[in-house]
Amino acid sequence: MGETRLIQGRYRLLDLIGRGGMGEVWRARDESLGRQVAVKCLKPLGHHHENAFTRVLRERFRREARVAAALQHRGVTVVHDFGESDGVLYLVMELLDGRNLSQLLEDNRQHPLPVGDIVDVAEQVAAALAYTHQQGIVHRDLKPANIMRLDDGTVKICDFGIARLGHDIGFTSRLTGTGIAMGTPHYMSPEQIGGTEVDQRSDLYSFGCVLYEIATGAPPFDLDDAWAVLVGHRDTAPEPPRSHRAELPEFLDRIILDLLAKEPGRRPHDARELGRRIGAGRTTPAYVPTMVSAPVRPEEVRWPEVREWPEAAGRPGATARPEAAGGPDAAEGPVVAGRPVSREARMPSWTRGMTTGHKATGTGAGLRATPPDAAAGLTGDWIARTDTRGAPDPLPAERPVPAPELLTALTGRHNAGLSLGRLSRWAEAGEVHRAVAAEREHALGPDHPDTLASRYEVGFTLSRTGRPADALREYTHVARTREHVLGPEHPDTLAARQEMAYVLGQLGRHFDAHQVYTGVLATRERAMGPDHPDTLRCRHNLAFNLSRLGRLDDSYRMASEVAAARARVLGPNHPDTLVTRYEVAYALGQLGRWTEALGTYQEVAGARAQALGPDHPDTLAARYEVGISLGRLGHSAQALELYRGLIDDRTRVHGPAHPETLRARHGLGVNLGRLGRWEEALAESRDVCAIRERILGPDHPDTLVSRREVAVGLGWLGRWGDALAEYRQVAGARERVLGADHPDALASRNDEAHCLEQLGRAGEAASLYRKVAALRQGVSGAY
């Protein structure tokens, strides 16, 4: 192998990445697919090893490959292939760009990591362990070197080299040939040391040791003698992490100590419980103290671009369809501002939070902000503003230079807000960003990049909490100020302008949004090229907006072009490529090409299940769209079966009252109606409506869509008087919220008129039809 440097005629070994007790890891090129991969090779064994020993190691390696290849989760390293070549066993994995936690500690001169980073690592690893433990797999060798933090902030568990299926744990000690199960002394659980049976709680103990080390700079029993370390794990209570580092929040100190309980029964029951405790502990920004990141070169500083919004990230009504008045083809989701809710400017759920105004240092919770003295190409404190003529204006003497401690504290709170956003806790995130923006403005001035970064995030949270008009004001201010300070073509300015376009779309001002998107796209293409990720992202958003303008063919054509470009640049199964293919499917549906839409949605759902896991929100969203397409094609029995399974999965993952669970139930009710099972459909719609009204409020778009579906069911059962009351309630609410001339309000008044016709009240119906027609004509005349 060393001479040919080619495995199985396919994997060309390029550079040695690492070497361990079991073998070597190489950076390699997959000659078949033209992509970079990592290849792990079992070390060739010399003749001095016994054949039995060699067989055991080979069996362990094969078992590692089979176990690892079965794992599909964003927090676990993806295994592409495995096999044997010229007597050498190999494992082909995704090539990760980042540093493991051990390397991060070394980079930090063995100083502990920032608290915000620790909490983020804890949360992501807990999610990955919850998945692997659910598969019956125990890692058995969690340590800092086996946990990788990628450049984009994603945290992954690596090297399931001694993973064991839960039902087969007892075989491990026979493989090792020793009385102590495999593991690394500084991170071994007491039950591993004692050679007794281990389960998922052993991984939790090991992870507690990892958290202890990255929180304090050293593992809990940091002794030179291996036996003393093992005795410490078995017999000695660890010192509280806060005794080494007082700034650690109490909830994190408590979690780590609970993970390090000697008895497995005293640890958190499972990784899901651990994840819940971490989420509960970080509810207030006070739990995320100061964070200091390394400064960056001025030429590296830029604002990360706003990405596409996820198809299903816990926000309501992502996959609505235009409503059909009074029939079984009624909408399967809410329509707001004349379009399905939150279809625009989508961003994959694993990338949200990456919108701070500073160079990233990498975290899953969002990009870390560098200190203000490194931002926007400036050195030293921000000491100049720009007046209306564009000339530098010295900072007023009355504003003192802020203390470094204040600036780093504000940076930490800013990142806490990003973390809350990553958890979709937008209202809380907004409160944090508003407070930080006010303090930054007082300390640094209104035009400072950090102040604008916070106001940018305020706008983002407003747009995600149903306040697009307020968000537009924030983004407009940020865009204008950046244009004065940085210039109209600066990436920071373009980022704010693109978010302006997004909220203009939320407000139904799609023509205005189109103009902004077009201007931003022209600048991006000129400055970055047509295939730059930011350019493609803007084109994706523009394609979506074209569909809102009724230019469905143009929307489909542009989305198809973006999907092809992303497949070429990023790969066919990259999340961004799949987001755009999802949009292609949506455009196909809008064009009535439901057979093609169904096939595309099914392909996207399958690819996401492989890349992200079957329970990932984006995978479940694609499955939902498959159900919509089946219903549109008249395959309501298949759609019904799909929705029942989806409801079970949504309930298990998110809970019975989650908006996405309720959307799946809404789809179930619609298809029950299509099958003529109107009594069941009515009962389902009423139940969903009641839950939505209680959780979301009576005037929420999703609640109104459910109430309309109740009216549809009543109508099909001949109960037109009851249906009329429901239709009028929906119409009144939409007029209050959206205005009497809004398309959705007009559609509801048409529903009401149709109902009046069925009741024999033709004169009232005709009068209402004329009123609706006049309002529609007035709206179209305004354009």
Exposure string of 294-320, with b = 16+ CB inside 10 Å and e = fewer, is eebeeeebbbbbbbbbbbbbbbbbbbb
| 291 to 377, 428, 443, 445, 721: CA distances (angstroms) | 20, 20, 18, 21, 62
Phi-psi bin for 424: left (phi > 0), alpha (psi -120 to 50), beta?
left
Cβ proximity of 366 and 415 under 8 Å: yes
- Name 336's bridge partners: 339
Distance of alpha carbon 484 from alpha carbon 480, whole angstroms? 6
The single residue listed with the structure tokens 């001169």 is 109
Q: Which amino acid is at 297?
A: R
CA proximity to 422, closest of 544, 522, 282: 282
- Cβ neighbors of 766 (< 8 A, separation 6 or more) are 753
Task: Please state, as a whole number, how many other Cβ atoms lie within 10 Å of the Cβ of residue 752.
Answer: 27
The single residue listed with the structure tokens 């400064």 is 295
Distance of alpha carbon 437 from alpha carbon 421, whole angstroms? 16
Distance of alpha carbon 291 from alpha carbon 294, whole angstroms? 10
Task: Please state, as a whole number, how many other Cβ atoms lie within 10 Å of the Cβ of residue 426.
Answer: 20
Q: Is 168 a catalytic residue?
A: no
Tell me how far apart the 2 most distant CA atoms of the chain are, in Å. Answer: 100
- Phi first, then psi: give them for residue 333, nearest 5 degrees: -170, 165
CA proximity to 81, closest of 24, 40, 135, 27: 40
End-to-end, the C-alpha distance of the chain in Å comes to 70
Task: List helix spans (H) across 423-490.
Answer: 426-444, 449-464, 468-486
Q: Which amino acid is at 565?
A: A
In which element (H, E) is residue 11 found? strand 11-19
CA proximity to 490, closest of 378, 376, 380: 376
Q: Which amino acid is at 696?
A: L
Sign of CA dihedral 610, 612, 614, 617: negative
Is residue 262 annotated as involved in ligand binding?
Answer: no
Q: What angle do CA 600, 604, 606 make, to 5 degrees?
A: 115
- Phi first, then psi: give them for residue 290, nearest 5 degrees: -50, 140
Task: Please state, as a whole number, how many other Cβ atoms lie within 10 Å of the Cβ of residue 553.
Answer: 12
Rg (CA), the chain: 29
CA proximity to 373, closest of 289, 450, 447, 484: 450
3-state secondary structure (DSSP) of residue 18: strand
DSSP class of residue 287 equals G
Q: Which of 141, 159, 270, 618 is catalytic?
A: 141
Q: In a 10 Å sphere around its CB, with 0-12 CB exposed, 13-18 middle and 19+ buried, how is residue 602 labelled?
A: middle
DSSP class of residue 321 equals -
Q: What are the catalytic residues?
A: 141
Annotated binding site for ATP: 40
